[in-house]
Amino acid sequence: MCKTIEVASVVVVDHLSPAKALVAAGDELDRDGEELFTPPLNFAMVENGIFRSGFPDTANFAFLQTLGLRSIIYLCPEPYPEANNEFLKSNGIKLFQFGIEGYKEPFVNIPEDTIREALKVVLDVRNHPLLIHCKRGKHRTGCVVGCLRKLQKWCLSSIFDEYQRFAAAKARVSDQRFMELFDVSSMKHLPISFSCSKR
């Protein structure tokens, strides 16, 4: 199913700030019966049925509904906000929380067992479509997706390119080292029912 997503442009009117102008543009769209879909920060499709992003807020809920999600993998230790929990309940979405602390280099400790458990959820097609997210969709999400790419037999340069596209100036050598050293041999018995093309 394909849906057209309308994007509103923001025009700053004399006395309105850009934020108020955006609200005014959104209000105008609502009066016309049009719905504005806003994806979360750093949103992208990883594979058919697998998406990634930063932390979704209430402004992203209409967009997320269009994905028909069954599951969300949340990679932060903080409790999921009540508004997000209500969204999950009302849409029949299951939450898998893997509380990985968000450290800054050089004190980064990426728990390999936790990444492995998150990947098991990703590989189980009964959980698809699913969204993987952390705070900004950069480091923790990037590591899970990077390790998935290793399972898909992507070359390291392609894995690092994808990671850097989302992490940008905040790319961490420690994350890339973790992905490089991540041992996929213990997961090769798990079925991968989506594309495993080499890149």
**Residues annotated as catalytic (active site), given as ranges:** 134
Would you call 130 helix, strand, or coil by DSSP?
strand
Q: Are 164 and 149 in contact (CB under 8 A)?
A: no
Q: Are 67 and 131 in contact (CB under 8 A)?
A: yes
Q: Are 142 and 166 in contact (CB under 8 A)?
A: yes
Q: One-letter amino acid identity for 195?
A: S
Q: One-letter amino acid identity for 123?
A: L
Find, among 47, 43, 49, the residue nearest to 125 by Cα: 49
Q: Are 19 and 12 in contact (CB under 8 A)?
A: no
Pairing of strands 44-47, 94-97: unpaired
